[in-house]
Structure 1
Amino acid sequence: MPTLTQHALDTLADRLASRRQAGLLRLLRTADNLIDFCSNDYLGMARSPELRAAIQQADYELPALRTGATGSRLLAGQTALANEVEQALATQYQTEAALIFNSGYDANVGMLACLPQAGDTLLTDELIHASMIDGARLSYAKRHRFRHNDLADLEQQLRSVTGAAASGQVFVAVESVYSMDGDMAPLQALVDLCDRYGAALLVDEAHATGVFGPRGEGLVVALGLQDRVLARIHTFGKALGVHGAAVVGSAVLRDYLINFARPFIYSTALPPHSLLAIRCAHLLLSTQPGPRQQLHDRLTYFQEQVSGKLPGRTWTNSQSPIQCLIVPGNHNARRVATVAQNAGFDVRAILSPTVPVGQERLRICIHAFNTEPEIDRLVESLFMAEDPEQA
C-alpha cells in the first residue's frame, strides 16, 4: 500500500504527465553557442567587462562590508550603503524617494498587495505581468480588468467606480512596455484619464528601464510624467544586467511600503555586493549613452530587414526591443523557433496558455551587441522556415 508521501508524488507526476502530453511541459535548458536574440540584456550590460571591473573595484574599496545582509532591513539588514544607493536611485529616476526590493517580482507583489485596501478599487490592464496579477490577487480591494491599452474601456470602468456615491481610492496598474507584445502603454492619455477621475497610476517600467529616457530612466521620465504617477517599478535584472528592483515615488510612498509591503518586511535584504552592483550599473548607464543609441539603431535595422524580407507576416505593434512574430499554434511556433535555433540563434517560442490561443509567437529580443550580419542571418532563417500561416 503506497504511503501518503508516495500518493502525493504520484499526483504530482500525473499532473506533469498531463502537461507533457499537452506539449506544455516547461524545461530548464541552456543556449550554449547560440547567438542571443532571447535575453532581456538589451544593452549588453550583463556581459560588460567594464561593469564587471567596476563592481570588483567597488568590492575591493569596501572590504569591511559583510558578504551577506544577515536579515531583513527592518532587523539586521539595514546599512548606510542601502540608504546611499536608494538616494542615488531617487535622483536618477527624478523623484523624491526609492525603496529597493530583491526582485521586480517582489516589488510588484508587495506594492499591488498593500496599496489598494478593502474598499478601494484596482483596475488593471488585461496584459499586466504575472507578478502584478499575483499582487492584485493578494489585495483586499475590488479588482477589474480593462481591455489592453483600451482607453475607452478604462474610462467606462473609471466612470462606474468613481463619483459622488463612490468610496475608497481607485488605482490603475499598467506596464510601460509590455513583456509579451513589446508595445507601449499610452502613458500621456492614461495620466490625463487618471487625473480626470481621481485615480492613482502605477507603472511597471521593467522593460523600459535603461532603454528609454534621456539617461535610461524609462518612459515615464521620457514623457515628463514622473510627478503625475504615484509609483514606478524599475527592475535591474534586464537592461542593467545586475539584480534587484526599486519602487520609486514620494517619501510617503516609501514609508508606507516599509510598513506594509510584506515581501520587503519579511525578506532577507540584498547583500552589499548586489547594492554595489546596482550603483555601478546606474553610474555606467548615466555616463555612457552609446549602447542605448546602438540598441535603437539595431532595432531600426531589424525592422527594416523584416519589412523587406518577411512581407505578409504578422508582428505585434512594437517599437521596443521586444519584437514578436505571431505564429498561430503551439506546434507551429515551436517548429519555426527550431529552424532559427538550428541556424544558430537563441530564439524562443511563447506558447498558449502564456499567450492567448492563436497568438503563439516567437519573442525576439534585439540587443546593442547584435550585429547587422547576425540580424541578416536571423531574418534569413525565418524567411527559409515554412510559412507558419500555411503549415
Structure 2
Amino acid sequence: MPDHHHRFQQLLCKRKEEGILRSLNPRSEGIDFYSNDYLGFAGNKQLQDILLQTVISNPQLLSGSTGSRLISGNTAIANDTELYIAEKHRFQAALLFPSGYNANLALFSTLPGRHDTIIVDEQIHRSVHDACRMSNARKLKFRHNDPEDLDRILKKQDGHCYIAIESLYSMEGDFAPVEEIAELAEQYGANLIIDEAHAFGVFGYGLVEKYQLQDKVCAAVMTYGKALGAHGAAVLSNHLIRSYLINFASAFIYTTSAQDIQWMSIRTGYDFLEDHPESAKKLHENITIFRNQNLKSPSSATSPVQAIVIADNQKLKTIQNTLSDNGFLTYAVYSPTVKEGTERLRICLHSFNTEEEIVRLAEIIKQII
C-alpha cells in the first residue's frame, strides 16, 4: 500500500472501531420504516403499468441521451416536462437535474458571487454545504429554524445575501417557518432558496405552493426520488435564473443528460399524484397513529419523518437490531451525520404501513428506552 494511503486506512479503522463504518449492502427484506418512499409510488403496480405501457408505445424513451443538454442531450420530452412542472408549481420556469444533489450544487456554486454571503440553516442538507465550498461566497450558519437568529445575522451584513433552508428537514423531521423567513428575505433584499425534497408530494406541491411564496423565493428545489418514487430534481425559478444556470452552472453544463425515461417518469408521477390524493391522506392517518403512541420526538406532529433521539450509541444499536430481528427496518443516525449527542433512530412513515405495524414498532422501542 502506498504511504499516502495509510491515512485512508487509519480513518476507516477508526470508524469501524466507533461502529459507524458505512458499507453497501443489498436491500433488506422487512417492514419498511426507513425509506423515503412516503406514498409508496416506487413500488406501485398501477404506476409501473402506466410507465410500462408508455415505454412499449415509445421504446426510444430507453435510449441513452448521448450527451449534455447543451450538446446532443436535449429533447422535446425534457423541455415539455420543464414547462409542465413550472406550470404546476406556478413558477415562470423550471430546469431539470439528474438529482437533488446536483440541483443544489448548481444553485449554490453558481448564483452567489465573490462578495455575497450564503446564510444557511445549521441543519441544511450536505449538498448545500458542498456547493458552498465550490462557491467564492462566504458562508454563515443560523440556528435551526430560528428567524430571530437569522435576523440578527442579516442585520450585520453589508453585501448581498442568499438564505438556504429546507421546508421539511429530513433528520429532525420538523418544518421551517417558511413564511417568517420569506418576510425576512424580503425585508433585507436577500435571495431565499428553499429545498422541498421531503415536503413535495406529502404536502401537495410543497410549502412554497401551500403558502403562495412563488414571488418571494429566488428558487425552489423539488426532488422526485422520495414521495414521487422516481429520480431527479427540478429547480423552479424565473427565466433569468434558468438562463443563468444553463450558462454558468458547471453541475448542469458538464454532465450527460438523463434518459428520457427519467423525465417521463417524473411527468407521469405528477399525473399519478394528482389522480391519487388518497395516498397522501393515508400517510397522514398513519402519522397520526404513530404520534398517538406517545414516543418522545422533536419532530413535527404531521411530519412523515419521526426522530427518536437516543444519545447512547449502544442503546441506539440495540434498538435498531431488536427492531430488525422483529422484521422492522429503521435507520440509526450517528454523528457526524448529526451532531454528537443528538444521535437518533430515524423512522419514516408511509401510506402502505398498517396500524398494527406502527403500534408494534412503537411497543418494541418503548420496551428498550
Which TM-score applies when normalising by structure 1? Answer: 0.91
Conserved 8 A contact 2:55-2:62: no
Seq. identity, %: 42
Partner of 2:262: 274
From 205, 221, 224, the equivalent of 1:233 is: 221
Name the CA distance, whole Å, in 1 between partners of 2:219 and 2:354. 36
Conserved 8 A contact 1:44-1:239: yes
From 294, 304, 314, the equivalent of 1:331 is: 314
Name the CA distance, whole Å, in 2 between partners of 1:268 and 1:135. 19
Within a 5 Å distance, the mapping from 1:263-302 to structure 2 comes to: 263-302=251-290
Partner of 2:199: 208
Name the CA distance, whole Å, in 1 between partners of 2:163 and 2:10. 40
Tell me whether 1:179 sits opposite 2:167 in the alignment. Answer: no
Name the CA distance, whole Å, in 2 between partners of 1:259 and 1:76. 16
Cα 1:49/1:66, change in 2 over 3 Å: closer
- Tell me the CA shift for residue 330 of structure 1: 2.0
Cα 1:316/1:211, change in 2 over 3 Å: closer
Tell me whether 1:117 sits opposite 2:108 in the alignment. Answer: no
Name the CA distance, whole Å, in 2 between partners of 1:251 and 1:229. 14
Name the CA distance, whole Å, in 1 between partners of 2:36 and 2:311. 24
Name the CA distance, whole Å, in 2 between partners of 1:180 and 1:283. 29
Conserved 8 A contact 1:180-1:363: yes
From 322, 328, 352, the equivalent of 1:345 is: 328
Deviations 1:102-154 (A, max 9, x none): 10000001111001111111111110000011111111112111111111111
- Tell me the CA shift for residue 85 of structure 1: 0.6
Deviations 1:50-77 (A, max 9, x none): 1111111221222344611110000110
Within a 5 Å distance, the mapping from 1:2-21 to structure 2 comes to: 6-21=2-17
Q: Which moved more, 1:66-75 or 1:362-371?
A: 66-75
Larger Rg: 1
Conserved 8 A contact 1:176-1:185: yes
Name the CA distance, whole Å, in 1 between partners of 2:239 and 2:150. 29
Q: Where has structure 1 moved over 6 Å in runs of 4 or more?
A: none
Conserved 8 A contact 1:97-1:249: yes
Name the CA distance, whole Å, in 2 between partners of 1:318 and 1:251. 37
Q: Which runs of 5+ in 1 are unaligned?
A: none
Deviations 1:261-287 (A, max 9, x none): 111100000101111111111110122
Deviations 1:283-322 (A, max 9, x none): 1012211101111111011101x21xx4xx4543453100
Within a 5 Å distance, the mapping from 1:154-165 to structure 2 comes to: 154-161=150-157
Conserved 8 A contact 2:291-2:301: no
Partner of 2:89: 93
Root-mean-square deviation (CA), in Å?
1.4
- Tell me the CA shift for residue 329 of structure 1: 2.4
Conserved 8 A contact 1:55-1:280: yes
- Tell me the CA shift for residue 13 of structure 1: 2.4
Partner of 2:351: 368
- Which SS does the other structure have where 2:164 is aligned? strand
Name the CA distance, whole Å, in 2 between partners of 1:267 and 1:318. 40
Conserved 8 A contact 1:123-1:172: yes
